[in-house]
Copies of this chain bind each other. A is one copy, B any other.
Amino acid sequence: MDLDRSPLARPFPVALPVAGVTPRVARAGYKEWGRCDLTYIEVAPGTTVAGVFTRNVCCSSEVELGREQVRLGTARALVVNAGNSNAFTGYRGRAAVEGIMAQVAENLGCAPSDVFVSSTGVIGVPLPQDKAREGLAAAFTAAECSWEEAATTIGTTDTFAKGAVATAIVGGQEISLVGIVKGSGMIAPDMATMLGYVFTDAAVEPAFLQALLSAASDATFNCITVDSDTSTSDTVLAFATGQAGNTPLASIEDAGADAFAAALHDVCRQLAHLVVRDGEGAAKFIEVAVTGATSDDSARRIGLAVANSPLVKTAVAGGDANWGRVVMAVGKAGEPADRDKLSIGFGGTWAAREGQPVVDYDEAPVARHLAGDEVTIAVDLGLGEGRATVWTCDLTAGYIAINADYRS
């Protein structure tokens, strides 16, 4: 089935090569399709790596292995298989991943643990080892490809290629970051896997890179939701080749570390937003800004309760400024909230303040705001200083059509 390009799609940015990173693509033929489906990205010796992974306890072998590998902190290559997620395939699935790691390690003369593997697509079918082997062999000798080609190749049911770029000055050197991401198209029986990768030529110690990536992910990838479901394969990896020549960053006190952190956060936020913009059936991009909570964590949980509420999401789809549904979602989050201190607004206009409808509430500007394709919902708890922003898309008949009416 071919999906229409999302109405919320964005063009792929101008993304220049990152020193020490060589992306290539090939056809492994994991599915019957006339496209490249294996992405092979070599990174230079000395590259450091950090990663965050799904919290779904039924995770794939790729995730199990990746969690161990990032602790070592070094990387030489990334392999992404599209069309087969290799999830729920037991020891045979694990053997397929280890086979890929061994083949790349032999090609590069590195440790297998320096080879990161992700897979996305159909579940319950072990990744065919012969196809992986031949696809990899072809990738080793393929010409370097563009970032847009790599972003397209890691995709499955994505309706557009997603990338982001940023630069920063670190210790007098300009460093660059390029990120690509896939998600979150889902078609039975595929999974909603989100895979994101950020590459930079900056030099960053692995422990510090991990700290920065974890913090950035918490405020970006962990603040988006399409339908509250959590893939078993979600992975975000950051690779730092060090080719920019800066003194390796080891703490936020180092010169330029804050600029690098901001640039990494920026790339992660852009990528996270692009995933929402490709949410199934999405017609509106929704930002939920929560303030006045008892803590930032509490604010995030309240924001996600609003963003995950089918009643709120269908109301936005219908252009309905239904503040009562937002109040309901806040109340069910299980976080501190006081009905009589709660305020709800849309597009900068308060609809309810302190638990009651605003007396001279003018719905006209709110209706205009909700007719657009970028909707903001403000929730003020009136309790403390905690704040968070989360992003989602509306829930439309398109979501049902993609997930129920079609079978793969």
* A residues apposed to B, CB below 8 Å: 55-59, 87-90, 123-125, 186, 188-189, 191-192, 227-232, 308-311, 314-315, 317-318, 320, 322-325, 327-332, 334, 336-340, 342, 352, 354-357, 394-397, 399-401, 403-407
If the complex has contacts A56-B328, A331-B59, are A352 and B318 also in contact, measured as CB distance less than 8 A? no
Please, which residue of chain B has its CB at the minimum distance from the CB of A400? B397
- 7 more A-B contacts (CB under 8 A) besides A56-B328, A90-B354, A396-B404? A58-B339, A59-B339, A88-B327, A125-B357, A228-B308, A318-B404, A394-B404
Q: Point out the residue from B56, B308, B330, B404 that lies within 8 Å of A58, measured CB to CB.
A: B330
The 14 sampled A-B contact pairs (Cβ below 8 Å) are: A55-B332, A57-B331, A57-B337, A58-B328, A58-B342, A58-B355, A88-B357, A124-B356, A188-B315, A189-B325, A228-B310, A229-B309, A229-B325, A317-B404
If the complex has contacts A310-B403, A318-B406, A396-B400, are A87 and B189 also in contact, measured as CB distance less than 8 A? no
Q: Point out the residue from B123, B320, B405 that lies within 8 Å of A318, measured CB to CB.
A: B405
| Complex interface: chain B residues within 8 A of A57 (CB) | 331, 334, 336-339
Contact B328 A229 (CB under 8 A): yes
| Complex interface: chain B residues within 8 A of A229 (CB) | 309-311, 325, 328-329, 332
Chain B's nearest CB lies how many Å from the CB of A209? Answer: 27
If the complex has contacts A58-B328, A59-B331, A339-B59, are A317 and B356 also in contact, measured as CB distance less than 8 A? no
Chain B's nearest CB lies how many Å from the CB of A351? Answer: 9
Contact A192 B124 (CB under 8 A): no
Identical chains in the assembly: 2
Q: Is the interface of A mostly helix, strand, loop or mixed?
A: loop
Tell which of A57, A186, A357 has the most Cβ of chain B within 10 Å: A57
Alpha-carbon distance between A78 and B336 when the two chains are bound, in angstroms:
31
| Complex interface: chain B residues within 8 A of A59 (CB) | 331, 339
Alpha-carbon distance between A380 and B332 when the two chains are bound, in angstroms:
29
Contact A400 B317 (CB under 8 A): yes
| Complex interface: chain B residues within 8 A of A90 (CB) | 340, 354-356
Chain B's nearest CB lies how many Å from the CB of A189? Answer: 5
Tell which of A89, A310, A315, A331 has the most Cβ of chain B within 10 Å: A310
Q: Point out the residue from B56, B342, B355 that lies within 8 Å of A331, measured CB to CB.
A: B56
| Complex interface: chain B residues within 8 A of A342 (CB) | 58
| Complex interface: chain B residues within 8 A of A314 (CB) | 399-400, 403-404
| Complex interface: chain B residues within 8 A of A309 (CB) | 228-229
Contact A328 B231 (CB under 8 A): yes
Chain B's nearest CB lies how many Å from the CB of A247? Answer: 42
| Complex interface: chain B residues within 8 A of A325 (CB) | 188-189, 191, 229
Contact A227 B88 (CB under 8 A): no
Contact B407 A397 (CB under 8 A): no
Please, which residue of chain B has its CB at the minimum distance from the CB of A310? B227
Alpha-carbon distance between A58 and B340 when the two chains are bound, in angstroms:
8
Alpha-carbon distance between A56 and B231 when the two chains are bound, in angstroms:
28
Contact B88 A352 (CB under 8 A): yes
| Complex interface: chain B residues within 8 A of A354 (CB) | 90
10 shortest A-B CB distances, which residue pairs? A58-B331, A314-B403, A318-B404, A56-B331, A230-B332, A314-B404, A123-B324, A317-B404, A58-B339, A227-B310
